[in-house]
Amino acid sequence: MSQLQDLEDQGVYIFREAYKHFKELCMLWSIGKDSTVLLWLARKAFFGHVPFPLVHIDTSYKIPEMIAYRDELARRWGLTMIVGQNRKALADGMGPERGRLTCCTALKTDALRETLNGTGPRMRMQHPSGEYVEDTVREPFTGVIVGARADEEGSRSKERYFSPREHSGDWDIADQPPELWNQFKTDFAPGTHVRIHPLLDWTEVNIWEYIEREKIPIIDLYFDRGEGRRYRSLGCAPCTGSIESCAKTPAEIIVELRHTKVAERAGRAQDKADAYAMEKLRRDGYM
Amino acid sequence: MSAPVSTTETMNIVIVGHVDHGKSTMVGRLLADTGTLPEGKVEKVQATCRRQGKVFEYAFLLDALEAEQDQGITIDAARVFFKTAKRDYIIIDAPGHVEFLKNMVTGAARAEAAVLLIDAGEGVQENSRRHGYLLAMLGIRQVVVAVNKMDLVDYDQGAFDAIVAEYREFLAEIGVEPLQFIPVASRTGEMIARRSDKLTWYDGPTILEAVDGLSKQPQQENLPLRFPVQDVYKWGHRGDDRRIVAGRVEAGSLAVGDEVVFWPSGKRSRVASIEAFSAPSVERIGARRSTGITLTEQIFADRGDVISHADAPPAVANRLRVKLFWLGRAPMTQGRAYKLKLATAEVEARIVAIHRVLDASDLDSSTDKRLVERHDVADVTLALRRPIAVDRAEDSEATGRFVVVDNYDIAGGGIVSAHKLDAIAAASGAQRRHALLGHGPALVNIRGPAERGRAIADALEGELIGLGNLAYVVDEGASPSVIAALLDAGLIVIAPGEANLVDPPAPCVDVALGGGEGDVILDADVSAAAACDAILGELASHDRLRQH
């Protein structure tokens, strides 16, 4: 059996453990390729169902096609969709011109933390209308499934499949419990939550191989749509650059990836702002 | 264009050893010398070093975290990837500092093979031994030993041979046979990816050659079926009425139509279908696959059950003889309740006997220690609150190893070396009280003249206790709920007057004084002794008296 099959089986196992142990469970869906693969894995794990809400943090600066794609898939697959946003910061005029790290911190880190712990607004999609109305449910999520991969950045390679966080989102890297033999941290103290990483062992190539194998309907921003450019990684419009590429299908992207040595997030401005920017964002709870 | 098929094999290897024996440097070398790093990575780290006024080292490639670079020691089992012509590797760099043993365990438990480093200058140290011991417990059978920093001992063969002799002897004591001892110098890259003209006396493989020579773990398909139940789903919406028993096939395989047995209950059913989402339907599913099945006959199945075929069942046990390692800050103590997680089962466990506590660093064993402290390895007997399906680790890995949770965190782990079912411990409370008392509960109801009835009741109580039975006389008019509680507690309850128990939870001996209906009918003026004899006879016929 292929490595891809092993990765799928492990991801499915992790999803089922998470669902069994966490009553207040959600999954972060950034609309990007990784978390869309994650969403597909959830449907694998639960035989076509997704029995927990998906949380998307809308910075208001996202590429517009991302929002349209999100809502289309949510309607088609009957997903429980929750959208969070730092309205206060946006009303205050927050944007990338104030500094990328400042902007990311306010619109991603803070928005995410407040959406997860229930202190910020949660907009819930109504079916079948697709309208968003403010959710009255504000229970803090105690289990948060995210699509982080160990090969993305140095800091991510230190993660566990089940990684405890303080409610502030703090991550004590030096003092994580052991994880062995597929036994995970499923017991947690009040006031803490657990980040769950079903894709931890996947590489960027694995993601594309799986998209290809499963025919996952990934957003087409990843493909060259005739201009000789495509996105390799998705984020906010002002801070995400496209790369030169003529890859129009997952198969062509896989070939391209096998021949590149440029880091995946090279197009993402916030990584360059500070040698440890990612690490800081991550400690603060940014996915 | 069609997609390239992912045929590359992947192997997880872990690099362990005592702190400062050069693990991070070796990993940095493996990444750089196999040309695996993304463009700009080495330059980025070099630039960071310049800014911080440090001399670049290969170890820094891994030390991406601020905290780590400050302390200069690896904190976690970083996962990095490199590839050779043969296959892809996920390499787990496990920290050598004893404080981070839980990270070493986390890393090593995921590995298929290990490279264990020993500093040629410092020789075999505490964690060289501790890590060797833990590798054996974690089930890592392929171990390559690298004697590192040969450049610092002038590539001296004598220094190498002495370490090989000492460490080989230690490994033999714990039953590990290393595949290879290799002299290397990670800093210069000698014997990592290339040979060295300073190590001409060594003609064995380089690290990369040795690693490429490791074999993949044997498939679990030929072993007896072990399918721990992870969950049971019945969504009941979007038109889905399937009842799916979900889990991962840990060993063996399973086919539609197979008769399967659920343990510890022993209930049987048959596989109706193998379910999957957006995948071709299959008739058979093998080891390591996460799957779900439906059954022809609905039985109560729950998480923690283990599914097997009838001819090769797991054991059902509540007493486990185990070898365990402890990583918790608070020691593991005898008598205290812990949560044990074995496959998908969770059960309360207590240490009932500590046979041996081993200081893993030097294999000094102590038999009189009453607790298992952090970083100890121990041989203990655990009592489980209820029986679970279990195997010996050597027979079935997934159902033969466990972790122990203390205060929200996994604090230890271990492997099962023997198991048994303690029937008394396995029984219900009522059954266990019965066993303890030597008799079951019974109600003796003495109807008739109140004063006479009371006298006979008191005499009977004395007789019963004299014979070793726990008996108790309640006042006339005692409430039925009190009587029921005493019966549940296992007593022989003697109730003068009308007991009025509609449905007594124990055999009932009805005694009628002065005529009427009953199991024992006596004259109103019968002597207490004669009445006692008659009633004792009746109780004995119900098998309610303690046997001597």
| Contact residues on chain A for B81, CB-CB shorter than 8 A | 151, 203
Closest Cβ opposite residue B248 in set A9, A19, A51: A9
Average pLDDT over residues B290-298: 95
Please give the residue that has the higher pLDDT: either B505 or B509.
Answer: B509
Q: What percent of chain B has pLDDT above 90? A: 45
Mean pLDDT, all residues of chain B: 85
Tens digits of per-residue pLDDT, B96-144? Answer: 566 677 878 887 888 889 999 999 999 888 778 888 888 888 888 889 9
Q: Residue range B279-293: average pLDDT? A: 94
The token pair that represents A283 in the structure block: 């400690």
pLDDT at B38: 62
Q: Is B109 on the interface with A (CB under 8 A)?
A: yes
* Sequence spans of domains, chain A: 3-202+273-283, 204-271
Give SS3 for B221. Answer: coil
A255:B76 CB<8 A: no
Cross-chain residue pair A180–B248, CB shorter than 8 Å: no
Q: State mean pLDDT over A64-77.
A: 94
**pLDDT of A79 over the 90 cut:** yes
Considering only CB atoms, B405 lies closest to which of A51, A187, A203, namely: A187
B170: tokens are: 């230690």
- Higher-scoring residue by pLDDT: B145, A188: B145
Residue B107 to chain A, least CA–CA distance (Å): 8
In this prediction, residue B109 carries a pLDDT of: 84
What pLDDT, on the 0 to 100 scale, is given for residue B404?
Answer: 97
Does the pLDDT of residue B71 top 50, yes or no?
Answer: no
**B231 contacts chain A (CB < 8 A):** yes
**Those residues with Cβ within 8 angstroms of residue B279's Cβ, 6 or more apart along the chain or in another chain:** A44
pLDDT confidence of residue B361: 58
Is the CATH number 3.40.50.300 carried by domain A3-202+273-283?
no
Preceding omega of B228 cis (within 30 degrees of 0):
no
Check CB contact under 8 Å for B75 and A174. yes
User: Are B360 and B129 in contact, with CB atoms under 8 Å apart?
Assistant: yes
- pLDDT band (50, 70, 90) for residue A229: very high
Q: What percent of chain B has pLDDT over 70?
A: 89
pLDDT given at position A219: 94
User: Nearest C-alpha of chain B: how many angstroms from A129?
Assistant: 17
Q: Nearest Cβ partner of A183 from B1, B78, B403? A: B403
What spatial distance separates the first Cα and last Cα of chain B, rounded to whole Å? 86
Which range has highest mean pLDDT (A174-188, B20-34, B448-462)? B448-462
Higher pLDDT, B530 or A258: B530
Query: Phi and psi of A103, rounded to 5°?
Result: -65, -50
What span, in angstroms and rounded, lies between the C-alpha atoms of B518 and B509? 8
Residue with the bigger pLDDT between B45 and A29: it is: A29
pLDDT-derived band at B432, boundaries 50, 70, 90:
confident
Give the pLDDT band (50/70/90) at residue A94: very high
pLDDT of B80 strictly over 80: no
- Grade residue A209 by pLDDT with cuts at 50, 70 and 90: very high
Confirm if B132 and B116 have CB atoms less than 8 A apart. Answer: yes
pLDDT value of residue A169: 53
Residues A109, A285 contacting (CB under 8 angstroms): yes
Q: Across the interface, which of A4, A13, A185 has its CB nearest the CB of B6? A: A4
Give the tokens for residue A280. Answer: 């800081």
CA distance B258 to B270: 6
Which range among A18-32, A63-77, B169-183, B448-462 shows the weakest confidence by mean pLDDT?
B169-183
Cβ-Cβ contacts under 8 Å, A251 against chain B: 1-4
pLDDT-derived band of residue B506, with 50, 70 and 90 as boundaries?
confident
pLDDT tier, B6 (very low <50, low <70, confident <90, very high otherwise): very low
Confidence band of A275 (pLDDT split at 50, 70, 90): very low
Predicted local confidence at residue B92, as pLDDT: 73
Q: Which has more pLDDT, A268 or B440?
A: B440
- Are A164 and A276 in contact, with CB atoms under 8 Å apart? no
In this complex, the residue of B6, B78, B410 whose CB is nearest that of residue A177 is B410
* pLDDT score at B424: 67
The single-letter code of the amino acid at B2 is S
- A1 versus B163: the higher-pLDDT residue is B163
Residue-level pLDDT at B4: 39
Q: Is B409 on the interface with A (CB under 8 A)?
A: yes
CB A221 within 8 A of CB A186: no
In this structure, what DSSP letter does residue B277 have? S
Q: Among A119-123, A266-270, B281-285, B319-323, which stretch is predicted with the lowest mean pLDDT?
A: A266-270
ipTM: 0.90
| Closest in B4, B102, B230 to A16, CB measured | B230
Rounded mean pLDDT, A70-93: 95
Please name each of the domains of chain B with its CATH number: 10-212 (3.40.50.300), 227-308 (2.40.30.10), 316-426 (2.40.30.10), 429-541 (3.40.50.300)
Instruction: Report whether B63 contacts B69 (CB < 8 A).
Output: yes
Q: Do B240 and A49 touch (CB under 8 A)?
A: yes
According to the model, what pLDDT value does residue A263 have? 59
Q: Please identify which residue in the block is written with the tokens 């019963």.
A: B464
Q: What is the per-residue pLDDT for A69?
A: 95
Q: Identify which of A4, A48, A251 has the shortest CB distance to residue B2.
A: A251
Q: Is B40 in the A-facing interface, judged by CB distances under 8 Å? A: yes
Q: What is the least distance, in Å, from the CA of A28 to any CA of chain B?
A: 22
**pLDDT tens-digit readout, B394-431:** 899 899 999 999 988 899 999 999 998 887 666 777 77
Span B277-296, average pLDDT: 94
A132 vs A175 pLDDT, higher one: A132
B9 touches chain A (CB under 8 A): yes
Q: Do B231 and A19 touch (CB under 8 A)?
A: yes
3-state SS assignment for residue B307: strand
Distance CA(B233)–CA(B450), nearest Å, equals 61
A270 has a pLDDT exceeding 80: no
Residues in chain B: 548
pLDDT average, residue stretch B473-493: 89
pLDDT classification of B218: cutoffs 50, 70, 90: low
Q: Identify the closest residue of chain A to B241 by CA–CA distance.
A: A47
Task: Examine the pLDDT at A67 and tell me if it is beyond 90.
Answer: yes
The minimum CA-CA distance between A23 and chain B, rounded to whole Å, is 14
Closest-CA distance of chain B to residue A175, Å: 8
Answer whether B410 sits within 8 Å of A214, measured CB to CB. no
Does B428 contact A at CB distance below 8 Å?
A: no
Q: By the CB < 8 Å criterion, does B233 face chain A? A: yes
Confidence check: pLDDT of B507 > 50: yes
Q: What is the pLDDT of residue B548?
A: 54
What part of B 267-286 touches A (C-beta under 8 Å)? Answer: 275-279, 286
Tell me the mean pLDDT in the region A196-216. Answer: 93
Q: Do B290 and A78 touch (CB under 8 A)?
A: no
User: Mean pLDDT across the stretch B366-375?
Assistant: 80
Question: DSSP states of A49-116 as a string?
Answer: ---S-EEEE--S-B-HHHHHHHHHHHHHHT--EEEE--HHHHHTT--GGG-HHHHHIIIIIIHHHHHH
Find the mean pLDDT for residues A20-30: 95
Residue A26: its pLDDT value, please? Answer: 97
- Whether B108 and B16 have beta carbons less than 8 Å apart is answered as yes
Shortest alpha-carbon distance between residue A100 and chain B (Å)? 20
Residue B78 near residue A153, CB atoms below 8 Å: no
Outline where DSSP puts E strands in chain A.
Answer: 25-28, 54-57, 81-84, 122-125, 132-134, 143-145, 162-166, 192-196, 229-230, 243-244
